[in-house]
């Protein structure tokens, strides 16, 4: 007698697709579709609401998060999700599971509302507290950065308009990596820090020059070898950093917490303390 195979558990499906690189490609396509959904709201008269933590939220954040959650659930049912807008509405899960998704559908909302280009869609897979796969997409410049199978590097591409009858479209994926630190390192910092603090943070990490940039784009610009460090002294949520950290680590960089260890995930209230993201 033959028995039909039992359905794969989420963990088996996840770990198989993670190991083959199929998962990284799949989440890149989801993030690009979320980006296509966000773009019509950009530089339009989108209504801006203020959340209880005083940060802005728009219809674009909510629509993108709904798309991402629906697509992830269809691909990998039963995996825990921790997503910015869901947490804002219903609170954070009491505890992180062994595998979970961290989702920020629109990071850098303040800049987005002002009509700037530095806002991103972020999806990361966490396993045992580490970001093992991630994608960051910048809708305004139609650029995506992603991991591959673990140990297989990081990639970037420009994505295009979706053509009729075509599942997805985009240019070829090109490998990216961090640069060796030059004598005069360049730091990236949040716009939320004062000039005085920025100069101090940059100098502490061996950088003589610095530039303010919104969103998780900072991790990607280090991952592709254009900048050297992103120090952050104030709090962030785990969904702000997980996808960027996955990409940066895959490109040869590091993201270290104050204790000198890689920034880890599934912490109380999914909150990060200070960290520094670094290239080579």
Ligand X SMILES: Nc1ncnc2c1ncn2[C@@H]1O[C@H](COP(=O)(O)O)[C@@H](OP(=O)(O)O)[C@H]1O
Q: How far is the CB of 180 from Mg ion (least distance, A)?
A: 30
166 belongs to an annotated ligand binding site? no
- Which residue, 143 or 190, is less far from Mg ion as judged by CB? 190
The CB-nearest residue to Mg ion is 107
Partner touching 241 among ligand X, Mg ion, none, CB below 5 to 8 Å by kind: none
Tokens of 43: 């530089």
240 binds ligand X per the rule CB under 6 A: yes
Q: How far is the CB of 270 from Mg ion (least distance, A)?
A: 12
Closer Cβ to ligand X, 65 or 148, answer by number: 65
- φ/ψ region of 260 (left if φ > 0, alpha if ψ in -120 to 50, else beta) reads left
Task: Report residue 277: phi and psi, to 5°.
Answer: -100, 135
Report yes or no: 62 and 109 within 8 Å, Cβ to Cβ: no
CB atoms under 10 Å from CB of 136, counted, come to 30
DSSP type of residue 35: H
CA distances from 167 to 64, 157, 162 (A): 18, 16, 7
Taking the complex as a whole, how short is the minimal distance between the CB of residue 104 and Mg ion, in angstroms?
A: 4
**Per CB under 6 A, does 115 bind ligand X?**
no
Binding range to ligand X, per CB under 6 A, among 21-29, 145-153, 172-180, 185-193: 185-193
d(CA 163, CA 155): 23
Residue 252 binds which entry of Mg ion, ligand X, none, with Cβ cut-offs from 5 to 8 Å by kind?
Answer: none
Q: Is 107 in the site for Mg ion (CB under 5 A)?
A: yes
Task: Say whether residue 104 binds ligand X (CB under 6 A).
Answer: yes
Q: Are 170 and 196 in contact (CB under 8 A)?
A: no
Q: Residues within the annotated binding site?
A: 84, 104, 106-109, 240
């Amino acid at each position: 007698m033959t028995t039909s195979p039992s359905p794969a558990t989420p963990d088996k499906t996840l770990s198989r697709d993670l190991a083959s690189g199929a998962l990284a490609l799949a989440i890149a396509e989801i993030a690009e579709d979320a980006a296509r959904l966000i773009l019509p709201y950009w530089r339009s008269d989108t209504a801006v609401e203020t959340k209880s933590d005083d940060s802005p939220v728009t219809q674009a954040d909510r629509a993108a998060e709904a798309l991402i959650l629906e697509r992830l659930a269809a691909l990998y049912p039963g995996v825990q999700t921790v997503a910015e807008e869901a947490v804002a509405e219903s609170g954070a899960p009491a505890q992180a599971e062994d595998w979970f998704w961290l989702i920020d559908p629109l990071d850098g909302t303040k800049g987005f509302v002002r009509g700037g280009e530095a806002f991103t869609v972020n999806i990361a897979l966490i396993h045992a507290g580490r970001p093992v796969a991630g994608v960051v997409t910048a809708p305004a410049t139609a650029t995506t950065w992603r991991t591959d199978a673990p140990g297989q590097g990081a990639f970037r591409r420009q994505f295009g308009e979706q053509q009729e009858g075509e599942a997805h479209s985009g240019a070829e994926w090109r490998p990216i990596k961090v640069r060796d630190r030059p004598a005069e390192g360049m730091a990236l910092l949040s716009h939320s820090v004062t000039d005085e603090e920025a100069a101090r943070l940059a100098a502490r990490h061996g950088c003589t020059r610095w530039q303010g940039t919104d969103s998780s784009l900072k991790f990607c610009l280090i991952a592709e070898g254009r900048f050297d460090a992103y120090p952050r002294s104030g709090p962030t949520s785990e969904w702000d950093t997980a996808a960027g950290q996955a990409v940066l680590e895959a490109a040869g960089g590091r993201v270290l917490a104050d204790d000198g260890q890689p920034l880890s995930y599934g912490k109380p209230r999914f909150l990060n303390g200070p960290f520094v993201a670094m290239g080579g």
